Structure 1
């Protein structure tokens, strides 16, 4: 009677084990089992389909075959720590892997530790393909970064746009008021720019603006801030610079531009610059002072710099 009972228990156990194996093999979720050394002992059909391998190609191979070479040591160390029960990392993580064709994929992997028939631990890994989700997240991230960039920068020149430039100027003014620092600004404008557009077209005019602002950026200090106010008019913010030093800086800019030939047409371009220094005034007044000085330069023939 006892023997018959044990036989029934054994049959139930065998049937349960067989059913479990069938469930694992037919599950739509990718599942693999690796031995203590990290070699595949079992891979189900979903796992093989995801990676593009057949079962025979994976069994006995080390699981790091499926990850980029740069990540193999890290994954192998993770496996060893997890098998030994010393791993304190999350058991649910995202990993970058590649399939048989070398295509990069992203998976969400969840792992559990089980005991094999030999009494040694095994790692069971369940994987979910989140490649499309990660690609969508990356596209959204890039789109948001682009929108944020365009909200603060001029698309043509890459400089701060008017709004961002004036905001930076206000920040520097507040810093001056707080700490008593020196601040100068300059507004410069390309001389006879309309003639360039009318003669060579707006495409050439755009190229001139990009190349001129690049020359200005190379001539000024790294700490100076350049912004496009609109059209061919630009703002330069020069922290910790008095009017005389600012005038010398803008004269260097004028000389650098006048001696450079722009675009494939080798055009000669000059600029006029007006300079103003912070003296307990508002953002608007400082701009007006610099703007007035710039127009006095233009009235005098252009290609120069003047202090307000």
Structure 2
């Protein structure tokens, strides 16, 4: 049964007073009524919307699909449209997120209209996106966090096996980082970590992956390169860090790293353990250097 709306009765007063956005469009999709909450949300004056097609507030890429959805609903059998989560555009061109629920009605002349109720969920959506980001990234540096990074390592191992391409990892430590916190405080320490992470991302290739494992410990995944090539790439990073003072305190920092290349049949834990042993070797030899694993490596041998 189609809902009926008498023109210019108390229904219009209720719609205009509603705290959520409400609009009424005709069967073709043109605005016939918009309440103040709807206008405030989109940033338009009422006279700027009336007579316009509702796709005015829809991203251009969605015009065809949203118009088709509107036409099918108006011509369909259901008087209530399923609640939809949509991205829309305000007058300022900025995207907004809404929950939209629509009902099909008839006015006193029997003409079909569509009433759409709009709830602003932009803040909730932004919070969801933020939580999703933090689930995979380190908040301070913006790098992948341990959990996401180790998951990515598993994916790279599978890709390396599938396509028979080399894969290397670099276990990295910022040398004597505790001294930075002790001498300059944790706020400066955070700046050092953040700027060091930025340099790591800038120095490594676009398809390398830099991961913050925790504290001053980092892991770099280098797909498609041999151990020797990985060592050269991380050595460039070590040199840049050593030559570039960071943070407002202009602190000179060095890096120690251990390189390991994936062996046939090797699992992630064993690969990381070998890289860690190489890192400990670099530290034992005085820090500020890159150490390769000593184990024989079939893939490296074939590449040399």
Q: TM-score, normalised by structure 1?
A: 0.68
Residues 258 and 276 in structure 2, CA contact (< 8 A), matched pair in contact too: yes
- 1:170 and 1:51 map into 2 onto residues whose CA distance is 48
Residues 66 and 97 in structure 1, CA contact (< 8 A), matched pair in contact too: no
Structure with greater helix percent: 1
Q: Show the 5 A alignment for 1:289-304.
A: 289-304=274-289
2:197: which partner in 1? Answer: 213
Query: Do residues 189 (structure 1) and 173 (structure 2) align?
Result: yes
Q: Show the 5 A alignment for 1:88-237.
A: 88-91=71-74, 108=101, 110=103, 124-131=112-119, 134-135=120-121, 138-237=122-221
Structure 1 position 176, deviation (Å): 2.5
Query: Do residues 261 (structure 1) and 245 (structure 2) align?
Result: yes
2:261: which partner in 1? Answer: 277
Q: 1:286 aligns with which of 231, 250, 271?
A: 271
Residues 23 and 117 in structure 2, CA contact (< 8 A), matched pair in contact too: no
User: Which is higher, the Rg of structure 1 or of structure 2?
Assistant: 1
2:299: which partner in 1? Answer: none
Distance 1:25 1:176, change over 3 A: same
Query: Do residues 64 (structure 1) and 51 (structure 2) align?
Result: yes
- 2:287 and 2:164 map into 1 onto residues whose CA distance is 33
SS for the counterpart of 1:265 is coil
Distance 1:187 1:114, change over 3 A: same
Query: Matched residue pairs, number?
Result: 260
Structure 1 position 109, deviation (Å): 5.0
SS for the counterpart of 2:73 is coil
- 2:5 and 2:106 map into 1 onto residues whose CA distance is 17
Residues 57 and 90 in structure 2, CA contact (< 8 A), matched pair in contact too: no
Residues 43-83 of structure 1 show CA distances to partners (whole Å, capped at 9, x for unaligned) of: 6xxx666668xxxx989x98236969666999xx99xx99x
Distance 1:285 1:89, change over 3 A: same
Distance 1:141 1:39, change over 3 A: closer
SS for the counterpart of 1:130 is strand
Structure 1 position 110, deviation (Å): 4.7
Residues 19-57 of structure 1 show CA distances to partners (whole Å, capped at 9, x for unaligned) of: x98675222457868799x696xx6xxx666668xxxx9
* RMSD of equivalent CA atoms: 4.2
SS for the counterpart of 1:290 is helix
- 1:297 and 1:284 map into 2 onto residues whose CA distance is 20
**Which consecutive unaligned segments of at least 5 residues does structure 1 have?**
1-19, 117-121
Structure 1 position 209, deviation (Å): 0.8
Structure 1 position 199, deviation (Å): 0.3
Structure 1 position 236, deviation (Å): 0.5
